[in-house]
Amino acid sequence: MPWLLALVAYLLGSLSFAVLLSRWLGTGDPRLAGSGNPGATNMLRLAGRKAATLTLLGDLLKGLLPVLLARLAELPLQQQAWIGLAAVLGHLYPLYFRFRGGKGVATAAGMLLALYWPAALLAAAAWLLTFALTRISSLAALVATPLTLPLLAWQQPTALLPVTLLAALIVWRHRSNLRDLCGGRERHF
């Protein structure tokens, strides 16, 4: 049962709402324009607030729903976290879009929301504060992601390994942003 849910989570995570919405709205493929990332931030740049909001909600639900299904199946918290991580992997490396996905922040937020909502709220607050101060989305994601780990380690220690891997993947996917941040070239809003 856990492996089947993990497969379903990966396949659900592989749906790229940014790409699907851009096709539906007739805007350009977000993987080929702007930052090249099929996520809410790039959709805001390319297609406006409505498309960005829909992308954010779709990506958030991709992380939330599989974990909630795992909880309904009464799987232990650690298995719920691994299933959530499968959804994020689907977003990062989507089967349907030649494994060219996004950076996983919104899908990870949905996963955290289902696993332990205070950690998700802490991450959201850190993201919003960092973004308000710097106007740099990637920096906000890089600050918010590791802040959840101490809270999870304290309150939900069985989820710590999959969530630590999640954080490492998000930092890995932001490696070009890290280079641009260090070089003073990262995009601002």
Percent of the chain whose predicted confidence (pLDDT) is above 70: 100
Residue 187 lies in a domain: no
What would the pLDDT profile of 63-120 be if each residue is shown by its tens digit?
999 999 999 999 999 999 999 999 999 999 999 888 989 999 999 999 999 999 998 8
pLDDT tens digit sequence for 131-160: 999 999 899 999 988 878 777 778 888 998
Do residues 110 and 63 make contact, with C-beta atoms less than 8 angstroms apart?
Answer: yes
Parent domain of 69: 2-182
In-domain check, residue 188:
no
Q: How confident is the model at residue 11 (pLDDT cuts 50, 70, 90)?
A: very high
User: pTM for the whole thing?
Assistant: 0.92
Q: How many domains does the chain have?
A: 1
Predicted local confidence at residue 155, as pLDDT? 85
> Does 126 map to a domain?
yes
Interatomic CA distance for residues 96 and 120, integer angstroms: 28
60 occurs within a structural domain:
yes
Closest by Cα among 43, 76, 77, 78 to 57: 43
Q: Does residue 189 lie in a domain region?
A: no
CA angle 70, 76, 78 (to 5 degrees): 95
132 is a domain residue: yes
Rounded-to-integer distance, Cα 21 and Cα 3, Å: 30
Residue 61 lies in a domain: yes
> What integer pLDDT is reported at residue 184 of this predicted model?
86
Per-residue pLDDT, 150: 76
Tokens of 51: 């498309």
Residue 142 neighbours by CB under 8 Å, 6+ apart:
170, 171, 174, 177, 178
